[in-house]
Amino acid sequence: MRKKKIRIEDGSGNVFADLGLPNPEQELLKARLTLQIYKIVKARGLTQAQAGALLGIKQPHVSALMRNRAGSFSIGRLIEFLTALGQDVEITVKPTRKAQGEMSVVMR
Protein backbone atom coordinates (compact mmCIF):
# COMPACT_ATOMS: atom_id res chain seq x y z
CA MET A 1 0.00 0.00 0.00
CA ARG A 2 1.13 3.48 -0.82
CA LYS A 3 1.08 6.00 1.95
CA LYS A 4 -0.51 9.33 1.22
CA LYS A 5 1.41 12.40 2.21
CA ILE A 6 -0.44 14.71 4.52
CA ARG A 7 0.02 18.43 4.06
CA ILE A 8 0.56 20.29 7.32
CA GLU A 9 0.31 24.01 7.85
CA ASP A 10 1.11 26.01 10.95
CA GLY A 11 -1.97 27.62 12.43
CA SER A 12 -2.29 31.24 13.42
CA GLY A 13 -3.46 30.37 16.92
CA ASN A 14 -7.04 31.24 15.97
CA VAL A 15 -8.87 28.39 14.28
CA PHE A 16 -11.68 30.75 13.26
CA ALA A 17 -9.21 32.93 11.34
CA ASP A 18 -7.56 29.85 9.83
CA LEU A 19 -10.96 28.73 8.55
CA GLY A 20 -11.60 32.17 7.06
CA LEU A 21 -14.69 32.82 9.18
CA PRO A 22 -15.94 36.37 9.71
CA ASN A 23 -15.03 38.10 13.01
CA PRO A 24 -12.49 35.46 14.07
CA GLU A 25 -11.30 37.41 17.16
CA GLN A 26 -14.86 37.66 18.47
CA GLU A 27 -15.52 33.98 17.80
CA LEU A 28 -12.35 32.96 19.63
CA LEU A 29 -13.30 35.17 22.58
CA LYS A 30 -16.78 33.63 22.70
CA ALA A 31 -15.27 30.13 22.57
CA ARG A 32 -12.97 30.91 25.50
CA LEU A 33 -15.78 32.41 27.58
CA THR A 34 -17.98 29.41 26.80
CA LEU A 35 -15.19 27.05 27.85
CA GLN A 36 -14.95 28.83 31.19
CA ILE A 37 -18.72 28.53 31.69
CA TYR A 38 -18.49 24.81 30.87
CA LYS A 39 -15.67 24.28 33.38
CA ILE A 40 -17.58 26.03 36.17
CA VAL A 41 -20.81 24.11 35.53
CA LYS A 42 -18.92 20.79 35.47
CA ALA A 43 -16.82 21.61 38.56
CA ARG A 44 -19.97 22.40 40.52
CA GLY A 45 -21.69 19.23 39.32
CA LEU A 46 -24.71 21.18 38.11
CA THR A 47 -27.31 19.60 35.90
CA GLN A 48 -28.20 21.52 32.76
CA ALA A 49 -31.55 22.40 34.33
CA GLN A 50 -29.84 23.77 37.45
CA ALA A 51 -27.36 25.73 35.35
CA GLY A 52 -30.23 27.09 33.26
CA ALA A 53 -32.00 28.31 36.40
CA LEU A 54 -28.83 30.11 37.53
CA LEU A 55 -28.21 31.62 34.10
CA GLY A 56 -31.82 32.48 33.36
CA ILE A 57 -31.98 30.37 30.21
CA LYS A 58 -33.72 27.14 29.24
CA GLN A 59 -32.01 23.76 29.40
CA PRO A 60 -31.65 23.38 25.60
CA HIS A 61 -29.61 26.60 25.55
CA VAL A 62 -27.41 25.27 28.35
CA SER A 63 -26.95 22.11 26.30
CA ALA A 64 -25.77 24.22 23.37
CA LEU A 65 -23.31 26.06 25.63
CA MET A 66 -21.96 22.77 26.97
CA ARG A 67 -21.24 21.73 23.39
CA ASN A 68 -19.45 25.06 22.73
CA ARG A 69 -22.28 26.34 20.56
CA ALA A 70 -22.41 29.94 21.79
CA GLY A 71 -23.25 31.40 18.39
CA SER A 72 -26.58 32.84 19.48
CA PHE A 73 -25.14 34.47 22.61
CA SER A 74 -23.29 37.78 22.55
CA ILE A 75 -20.02 38.32 24.37
CA GLY A 76 -21.93 40.53 26.81
CA ARG A 77 -24.42 37.75 27.56
CA LEU A 78 -21.63 35.23 28.11
CA ILE A 79 -20.05 37.66 30.58
CA GLU A 80 -23.42 37.93 32.35
CA PHE A 81 -23.48 34.12 32.61
CA LEU A 82 -20.04 34.16 34.23
CA THR A 83 -21.08 36.75 36.79
CA ALA A 84 -24.24 34.73 37.53
CA LEU A 85 -21.91 31.80 38.23
CA GLY A 86 -20.07 33.88 40.82
CA GLN A 87 -17.16 35.05 38.70
CA ASP A 88 -15.66 38.53 38.54
CA VAL A 89 -15.04 39.64 34.98
CA GLU A 90 -12.49 42.36 34.36
CA ILE A 91 -12.11 44.10 31.00
CA THR A 92 -8.85 45.94 30.40
CA VAL A 93 -8.36 48.36 27.53
CA LYS A 94 -4.80 49.40 26.72
CA PRO A 95 -2.90 50.81 23.76
CA THR A 96 -1.30 48.42 21.30
CA ARG A 97 1.84 48.77 19.22
CA LYS A 98 0.15 47.04 16.29
CA ALA A 99 -2.03 48.61 13.63
CA GLN A 100 -5.06 46.92 15.17
CA GLY A 101 -5.67 45.65 18.69
CA GLU A 102 -6.76 42.17 19.66
CA MET A 103 -9.07 40.56 22.20
CA SER A 104 -8.01 37.99 24.75
CA VAL A 105 -9.25 36.20 27.85
CA VAL A 106 -7.05 35.57 30.87
CA MET A 107 -8.36 32.92 33.28
CA ARG A 108 -7.18 32.87 36.89
More confident residue, 14 or 61: 61
Q: What is the pLDDT of residues 64-89, one digit of tens each?
A: 999 988 778 999 999 999 999 999 99
Strands (E), 26-103: none
CA atoms within 13 A on the CB side of 13: 5
Mean of the per-residue pLDDT values of the chain:
89
Percentage of the chain modeled with pLDDT above 90: 49
Question: What domains are defined for the chain?
Answer: 22-84 (1.10.260.40)
3-state secondary structure 8-39: CCCCCCCHHHHCCCCCHHHHHHHHHHHHHHHH
Signed CA dihedral, 31, 34, 36, 38: sign only: negative
